[in-house]
Structure formats: C-alpha cells, structure tokens
Amino acid sequence: MSELDGLLRDKVRLLGNVLGQTIASQHGEEMLQRIEDIRQQAKTARSGDKADRDRLLAMLKTMPDDALVPVVRGFNQFLNLANIAEQQHSASWRRSDFLQDDADLLFNNLLDELQQKETEGLDLSQQVADVNIELVLTAHPTEVTRRTLIQKYDTIARLLQQRDDLRDGHPQLDQLEQRIASLVEEIWQTDEIRQVRPTAVDEAKWGFAVVENSLWQAVPALLRQLDQELRQRGSSALPLTAAPVRFSSWMGGDRDGNPNVTSVVTREVLYLARWMAADLYLRDIEELGTQLSMSAASVALKQQYPVHEPYRACIHELRDKLEATRKWAAEKAKGRDSQLTPIRTAEELFQPLMLCYNSLNECGLDTVANGLLLDTLRRLACFGTSLVRLDVRQESTRHANVIQAICDYYGWGDYHAWDEATKQQFLLKELASKRPLIPTRWQPDDEVREVLDTMKVIASDVGEGVSCYIISMASEPSDILAVALLLQACEVRDHLPIVPLFETLDDLEQSSQRMASLWAVDWYQQYCQGHQQVMIGYSDSSKDAGQLAAVWAQYRAQESLSRVAKDNNIRLRLFHGRGGTVGRGGGPAHSAILAQPPGSVAGGLRVTEQGEMIRFKFGMPEIALKNLKIYVSSVLEANLLPPEAAKPQWREIMQSLAAAGVDSYRHMVRDTTDFVRYFRAATPEQELGSLSLGSRPARRKSGGGIETLRAIPWIFAWTQMRLMLPAWLGADEALKRHIDAGQLALIQQMYQQWPFFRTYIDMLEMVVYKADAELAEYYERRLVEAELQPLGSTLRSRLADMRERVLQIKEQQTLLQDNPLLEHSMSVRNPYTDPLHYLQAELLHRNRLAADSSSEQVERALKVTMAGIAAGMRNTG
C-alpha cells in the first residue's frame, strides 16, 4: 500500500486534532472519546473478522439519540477537512512529487513528441489558441455542501498553503494554526445541512463565485504558462486574443424539468452576470489606475488622451463606464428601467486597453505591459462582458405544444398528429412567411407563454449573454426547426446556435441519420452557416441502457456524426453532457478525451462540469490552473497525435458486449418484478427529497418508477449504500459471457491497445473498488423485507463477478495496483465512512418505523450521514 506524502499526513493530522479539540470543547471529552472509539473500532473491523464488526455495530446501535448528531457530524467534518488537505496538497509546491506534476508533464511531453516528429509548418501557438474548449458549469442537485461552508473550507486551503510556505519554525506559524483552529470552530458551529432549497438564482451566484474566487486568477495564469513554454521552444507568442478555454453555464438557463427556472429567473441571472463581470473588471481597472502612473506614452495614446498622465486618463474613463455598467445591470436585474449607458461589448474595453498595452511596449515598458494589464486583456478574451455565457435548455415537447397552440388558434389542424414530413413542410413555410406567427391579442396558457417569454428575454438587450438554445429529447429535424421558427417569431438575433441533445440509446443510434436529414434542408444549411453543435447525453443514456451499452452508443454516435458532418461540409462541435460519476460519464479528463473517436474533437470540445466536481476541479486557482492545462494538453494531443482507429475485430466484440450488456441491464432494471421495490427499500432514495440539494426536483414527474427518476438521484442512492450499481450492471454478465466463450485474450488486447476500452475498464475498476458488498448487505438486512433479500444477494454476487472480470482483463491480483494514491486515499477514509454507512442504515430503519413521529435528532443525523458519505466518496451523483 502506498503511503501518504509525509507533509499531507501532517496536514490531515493537524486538521483532525483541531477538530477533536473543538468537539471536546463543545461537547466534552466523553463525546470526543466516543467518536475516537468508534473510529478505532471501524478501523479494526475493516481488517478484522465478524466479531470485530459486531462490536462496532453494538457501539452504534446502543448510541443514545442525543449523541447521534455530534457523532455523525464529527465523521462528516473530518472527511470534509481531509478533502481540503488533499486538494490543497495536490497543488502545493512543497509536495514531494511537485516537479513531476501531471499537467506540466502532459504539456511538455506533448511538445517534445511534436518536435521529435518534426511536423513542418505547424504553428504550435496557433494550435493552442484554436483548441476551442468550452467548460459548461452546471448546478445539478449534487453539491451537498453549503456555500457558506465552502467559503470557510477555501480559506482553510489558503491558510494551509501559507503554512507550507512558512514552514521550519517561522514565527507566524502559530498564528496561522490559530486561525485554522478558529475556522474549524466556525464550521462546527455552522449547520452543514441547508434548511431551504437553493433557488436557481442562488445556484447562478455560486457559479459566479467560482469565477471570482478561482477562474479569474487561473485563466491568465494558464495563458502565461502556455505562452512561456511555447516561446522557450521557439514558437511564436500566443495571440493576445487567444482563449483556448471559455466558460458557459446552465445555472438559471436549464429549465428542462425544472419549473423553478422561469423567464424572469433567466433574465435576472443574465443581468447579474453582467454586474459580476463589470465588478471584476472594475477591480482590475482600479489597480491599473494605481500602476499606470507614468507619463511616457506613444503618439497614438497621447492623441487620444492629451494629458500629463494619459494612461490614467484612459483608465479613469473606463472606470466610469464600468461603474455605470454595474449600476445599470443592478437596476435591470431588479426589473427596473435604467437610463445609464452600459458597456455592450468586450471590444469597448479591449481597444483602449490595447492602446495602453501597445504604448507601454513602444516606450520600452514591456514588463509593466505584461503584468496586470496583459492579464486583464486575457480575461477579456475569455470572459467577455457576460462573464459566463448562459445556455438555455428546454424539452422538445414544450416547443411542439406552442406550435400546437398556435395551430389551434388559427384552425390550422392538429400539429401533434402530423407526420415528420408534414411538420417540416409547415415549419419551413412559416419560416419563409412575412406574416407574424404569434397573434397580437392571443392569450395562451401559462406553459406556452413561459416558452415565448423566455425567447423574448433572449431577444432583449441582455440576450447576447445567451450562448445557445439546447433541445433535450430532440428526436427529429422538426424539433430543431420548431425552435428556429419560435426564435424568429420572437425576434431573437439571427443564427443563435440550436443544439439538439441526444440522450436515450435509440436517439444516440439515430442521431447521425437525423442530423443528415436536417443538414439536407436548404433553409437550415443557411441558418447554421456551416457550424453545428450536437450534445451527447451520458446520464439518461446510462440510466436507460446501462453504462456499457451507453458508452459504446456514445462512441459510435460521435463517429457517425463526425463522418456525416464532414460529408455535409459542417464543422461539428460535440458537446458532452458528462457528470462527476462514472455512471454519468465522469472520469479523469485526459483519459476521457483521448478515449474519444479519432477526429471527434477536431471542431473543439464542449463539456459539462457539474455540482461538486466544479469545486473539486476548479474551486482553488492552483487546482483550476492544473485542470485547465490538462484539458488544453489533452485536446491538443487528440487532434495532433490521434490514436489509431479501432480494429474491426475490436468493434465487433464491442458491439456484441454492448448488446449483451443492455439486455442484462434492462432485464434487471425493467423486467425484474421486485427491482424497484428493492431499490426504494435498500437505498435512501425516498429520503433524498428531505435534502435541499438544488433548485431542480429529483423527479421529472411525480410517481412512476425508475424512468421518472432523474439520473443524478438514481446514482446518488446507489452510491450512498455502496453498491454502485448503475456503473457496472450489465457489464458483468456481458464480459463474463465473452470471457467464458474464449475471448479473454482479445479483450485483454483491447484493453492494452485501445484507449476507449482501457478508459472504460479503468473506470470500472475504480467503481468496483469503491463498492462494498458487506455494507450493501447491512443496508439490506436493516431495511429490506425478507422476501426481497434474495434479489440483493444476486446483485452482490454479480458485483463479485464484476470484480473478477476486471482483474482478469487487467491481469492483476488486486484492484488499483496501478493507482496506489486512490487506493490509499480510500483506505484512509474507510474508518470514517464505515460508521456513517452503518449509522445511516440504522437511522433509515428508525425513521421509517417512526414515520411521522421520527425525532428531530434522527432526521438531522440522517441528513448529515448523506453529506458525510458523499464527502468520503468524493462524489454524489
């Protein structure tokens, strides 16, 4: 087993000791000792026998109600603090492997390989500038931790870095550690469970805070590093307008199945983004006003500002404009009119700042020019005036219902009943009509009005902040043409990108055929101007067909879409709707990007970053810098050094595996009579509604079975009881069948030589390692009626088979042999997560028996166990 870096172990010990002192101070030494006894017994039980585990269970079952909350909070907060230590340490220059940082090695090794291949005429700087990555921040209901606690955790991380910097007896060390202790005490006194579900506007503000606290610093730092490393190898400088990575958001724009996201919310979020952008630029400008006090200037700058301090004159003018923009945006966000004139485009800031930049360089002040001023120019290229552009997403039937309502009003017929050809003919005719589509005195119902009101927001003065219009459950060209018609009728700007989202297995398999039909429409070819985004869904396809069939369908869809786009002279940009978990397409960015079909990221990469993964990957500037650099390196490598195409025999066996996988998965999830009953009994799925996780409801509609449940709580529930079923179910039987048929050697070859398959198996390995059959069995014993328990036994047996298949394919004796850091991290966490699992099962049992009379301590402790397990597993859904 790999050992923790000594410095990391020291940080974890410091935070653990401080937390222990806080608990003792607040609840007494007896409570602290109770928690420590449970931890020690959990550690013994992990490596011991049934008697050791029985002793642990006895300690937990006999715990009085008034001890429940302090105990579960103690374990939860330790796991959160351990996460902070790990996250901060991974970016610390003091860590033992700092000089072997993955992000730097990736980029430098890639440049080495490109230079060795002596690719003639290749402008590496322009290649970096053109990688065209867009990360889309989403607020799916997964971020368990409250924003007020996140801010305190972030402060602890900064203090830990200062502590790294001031080691070896520095006189300020004691002061730093006292401040850390104070923060831990503040955290302990703060309720970790939200009492009120956050609004969509709250979620958007959280997204803006990620930009403010981290990405605002990380983006110029990234470009500075890339520029320096490219120049050292003789490449040209990165263009000042280079923005290899940009950011968008779904927070306040994603209304699919979320009645809380309305046109009013979208409007407010768009103006708040403008306010936040103006505020951040204003901070830069005010600092530049202090810096640029010199009088030596170019003729061009002096002509524009004929004063003794021309730079400051320019900066003061921009300051006034930004202050006006901030006031304008604040008034408009509140729904009020404003007579102020805002800055409308990034060019209004960029041009005067460029004038200053060129002047400084002309006067030999290049060091000043390439300081904060250059950073501000880089930020403008990335963030523009909108900070993050907003995606608007709506489900396809909502648009069809609007068209139907218009048809009803005019007596044109039953739009829903028309076949696809008739729908397209009607929509194209209306798109060419000079008559207004929407009746002047029409009074539609609220749902229809809301769709149209949203489009009117996109058509308003703040609508430039909308990046695209996404249609979920898009299945036919008419779904896209209907949106185009409604956008035109509401006077939305020309050529707003319309993005179909293909989610289910059937939709993925039909996606290229449907896009080919759409691109064959002359009107649409003119509309899209040779560019198209298509979104590939990971969550719903996995829930629909199982992970194995879904990943293969996604791979094939990307291949066929890329091929059809090329045939139609369309520059295709694929948009990956990934989540943070394997069950939702998540995984390390580098391997995930290189696992895509060759050529599929040639048009750039758009990908969602969701929930708690935003915090883990981009919550600190140093961590964000590292992850952004990995994205740039990976896309560059995928385009310039693409992997070889899959061999025909690999594709054949993959097709067979996927077919077997989907049959196996659906047989269990859809066709097994008691599966839904077992799921709801064995997991905390029913209790998830009590956690105020996000603005979106857990279900698309009330009642129903698995099909009505969103992918995120579906995965959350299985993760909480450690069966991790969505990520492996179906793959177990598919792989076993093919290995038993004598195809192990070929499957091993696929693992060794095919990045797509290797990434998939590595993700399976990680999931199977995190799964725990004993814990899952305990949930079953406490929560599931006897007649359903044989189903759980079957599932655990299949999990064991899955583990054996992974070991066979990877030719290993134990899991995670090639990932010792994760293995050790999980082994350190287990003594803290195990008691939370056992307590959660016990509390679920008590809560369900008590029904409406459950005690407040039991309910609160249950919620904290959910948060703690999520922290220990480093993911929720």
For 598-643, the pLDDT digits (tens) are: 989 988 999 998 777 888 889 889 899 999 999 999 999 999 888 8
In terms of Cα–Cα distance, which of 535, 546, 531, 481 is closest to 511? 535
Distance between CA atoms of residues 438 and 403, nearest Å: 10
pLDDT of residue 584: 39
pLDDT of residue 1: 37
Q: Which residue has the higher pLDDT, 297 or 876?
A: 297
The DSSP symbol for 597 reads: P
Phi, psi of 505 (to 5 degrees): -60, -45
The DSSP symbol for 177 reads: H
In this prediction, residue 98 has a pLDDT band, given cuts at 50, 70 and 90, of: low
Query: Any idea of the CA torsion for 411, 414, 420, 423, to the nearest 10 degrees?
Result: 20
**Interval 187-208 mean pLDDT:** 85
Does the pLDDT of residue 644 top 90, yes or no? Answer: no
Which CA distances in Å does 536 have to 30, 205, 763? 54, 27, 19
In this prediction, residue 707 has a pLDDT band, given cuts at 50, 70 and 90, of: low
In terms of Cα–Cα distance, which of 571, 410, 403, 533 is closest to 479? 403
In contact, 296 and 363? CB cutoff 8 Å = yes
Residue where the block lists tokens 């402008």: 123
In this prediction, residue 863 has a pLDDT band, given cuts at 50, 70 and 90, of: confident
Which CA distances in Å does 636 have to 57, 623, 753? 52, 20, 20
640-646 contacts, C-beta under 8 A, 24 or more apart: 640/110, 640/114, 640/119, 640/122, 640/127, 641/110, 641/113, 641/114, 642/598, 642/599, 643/594, 643/598, 643/754, 643/755, 644/598, 645/597, 645/598, 646/754, 646/756
Q: Which residues of 848-870 are buried (b: 16+ CB within 10 A; e: fewer)?
A: eeeeeeeeebbbbbbbbbbbbbb
In this prediction, residue 2 has a pLDDT band, given cuts at 50, 70 and 90, of: very low
Q: What is the CA radius of gyration of the chain?
A: 28
Residues sharing a CB contact under 8 Å with residue 155, sequence separation 6 or more, in sequence order:
183
pLDDT of residue 610: 79
Strand partners of residue 393: 254, 470
Of 651-665, 770-784, 824-838, which range is least confident?
A: 824-838
Does the pLDDT of residue 806 top 80, yes or no? Answer: yes
The DSSP symbol for 874 reads: T
Does the pLDDT of residue 308 top 90, yes or no? Answer: yes
* Residue 366: HSE in the Cβ half-sphere, 13 Å Cα cutoff: 3
**Ranges 6-20, 87-101, 337-351, most confident:** 337-351
**Interval 205-223 mean pLDDT:** 94
Number of continuous H segments (helices) and E segments (strands) in the chain: 38, 8
Residue where the block lists tokens 């179910």: 729
Does the pLDDT of residue 703 top 90, yes or no? Answer: no
Distance between CA atoms of residues 280 and 214, nearest Å: 12
Q: What is the pLDDT of residues 317-366, one digit of tens each?
A: 999 999 999 999 999 999 999 999 999 999 999 999 999 999 999 999 99
In terms of Cα–Cα distance, which of 490, 489, 453, 454 is closest to 470? 454
- Quote the tokens at residue 126: 């322009």
What is the chain's mean pLDDT, rounded?
90
Q: Measure CA of the first residue to CA of the last residue in the chain; give whole Å.
A: 28
Distance between CA atoms of residues 629 and 614, nearest Å: 15
Q: What is the pLDDT of residues 676-686, one digit of tens each?
A: 999 999 999 88
Query: Any idea of the CA torsion for 102, 758, 614, 692, to the nearest 10 degrees?
Result: -150
Distance between CA atoms of residues 794 and 789, nearest Å: 9
The length of the chain is 877
Q: Which residue has the higher pLDDT, 144 or 767?
A: 767
Does the pLDDT of residue 693 top 60, yes or no? Answer: no
Residue where the block lists tokens 């004598």: 742
Rounded to 5°, angle at Cα 101 from 96 and 107? 165
Of 177-181, 413-417, 713-717, which range is least confident?
A: 713-717
In contact, 555 and 756? CB cutoff 8 Å = yes
Does the pLDDT of residue 169 top 70, yes or no? Answer: yes
Rounded to 5°, angle at Cα 664 from 662 and 809? 85
pLDDT of residue 612: 72
The H-assigned helical ranges of 130-215 are 147-165, 173-188, 200-210
**Interval 284-303 mean pLDDT:** 96
pLDDT of residue 585: 40
**Interval 829-854 mean pLDDT:** 86
Does the pLDDT of residue 141 top 60, yes or no? Answer: no
**Interval 804-833 mean pLDDT:** 90
Which CA distances in Å does 16 have to 71, 76, 413, 656, 671? 14, 12, 69, 50, 48
Does the pLDDT of residue 97 top 80, yes or no? Answer: no
Residues sharing a CB contact under 8 Å with residue 503, sequence separation 6 or more, in sequence order:
472, 473, 537, 539, 540, 541, 544, 577
Q: How many CB atoms lie within 10 A of CB 122?
A: 13
Does the pLDDT of residue 706 top 70, yes or no? Answer: no
**Interval 851-859 mean pLDDT:** 75
Does the pLDDT of residue 250 top 90, yes or no? Answer: yes
Strands of 605-658, DSSP E: 605-610
Q: How many CB atoms lie within 10 A of CB 67?
A: 17
Distance between CA atoms of residues 714 and 543, nearest Å: 8
In this prediction, residue 143 has a pLDDT band, given cuts at 50, 70 and 90, of: very low
Does the pLDDT of residue 704 top 60, yes or no? Answer: no
In this prediction, residue 579 has a pLDDT band, given cuts at 50, 70 and 90, of: low
In terms of Cα–Cα distance, which of 643, 852, 611, 619 is closest to 755? 643
**Ranges 6-20, 600-614, 626-640, 797-811, most confident:** 797-811
**Ranges 358-362, 432-436, 574-578, most confident:** 358-362
Strand partners of residue 606: 134, 575
Any idea which residues carry the catalytic annotation? 140, 543
Does the pLDDT of residue 692 top 60, yes or no? Answer: no
Q: Dump the DSSP string for 226-257.
A: HHHHHHHTTPPPPPTT--SEEEEE-TTTB-TT
pLDDT of residue 534: 96
**Domains annotated on the chain, with CATH:** 1-100+148-190+821-877 (no CATH), 392-610 (3.20.20), 646-818 (no CATH)
pLDDT of residue 854: 66
pLDDT of residue 9: 86
Q: What is the pLDDT of residues 444-483, one digit of tens each?
A: 999 999 999 999 999 999 999 999 999 998 989 999 999 9
Which CA distances in Å does 239 have to 223, 244, 353, 378? 10, 11, 15, 9
pLDDT of residue 404: 98
- Quote the tokens at residue 216: 């605002």
Strand partners of residue 249: 137, 390
Q: How many CB atoms lie within 10 A of CB 413?
A: 13
The DSSP symbol for 538 reads: S
In terms of Cα–Cα distance, which of 104, 103, 85 is closest to 7? 85
